[in-house]
Amino acid sequence: MFSTMSTAENDTQQATERIGPPLAADERETLRTFLDYHRATLAMKCDGLGDEDLRRQSMPPSTLSLLGLVRHMAEVERAWFRRVVDQEDIPLVWSDDGDFQVAYDARDSTRDEAFTAWQAEVERARRIERAATSLDATFPCPKWGGDVSLRMVMLHLIHEYARHNGHADFLREAIDGTVGA
């Protein structure tokens, strides 16, 4: 659904393809395409930027940056699809002790490192979602105090992306004035 090209810092980068959600589809396909739409939106906000711009932080003391958002969303995809739905006993990508905040600090990260991890988690999440029997399938989630359905996981991911894409809008505008989409 989306792709980005890793290139040297001032080279031209491939534009992300973003396909809008269907106007009429069943619930699962609608959730699936809205999630991919928001994934592509985050990638679009990073299009054409090199490592330095992607690492540019919002304002002290925050370490929030576009690259930090990509890293954070890799953690979110991993946590919900691999750790909750697939019940894998694995650490987060950037934190062995489960601290999601670590991913936001991308001062020493690169586009290649962050996007490779994020895209791998997205592809794994897509496979896990497609293998689940239905949106009503449930999975233990002690953090939330009980079982969660695949429907709730997908809606939560859409919520996470939508919220952070709002942050990405402001971060991108501060870098080069690009707004919208």
Tell me which residue range forms the domain holding 65: 27-176
In a domain, 75, yes or no: yes
Measured between alpha carbons, how far is residue 170 from residues 15, 48, 98 in Å? 19, 16, 27
Q: Is residue 97 part of a domain?
A: yes
Could you tell me the pLDDT band of residue 11, with boundaries at 50, 70 and 90? very low
CATH of the domain at 138: 1.20.120.450
Task: Specify the pTM.
Answer: 0.90
pLDDT of the residue at 28: 97
Q: How far apart are CA 35 and CA 30, in angstroms?
A: 9
Domain annotation covers residue 19: no
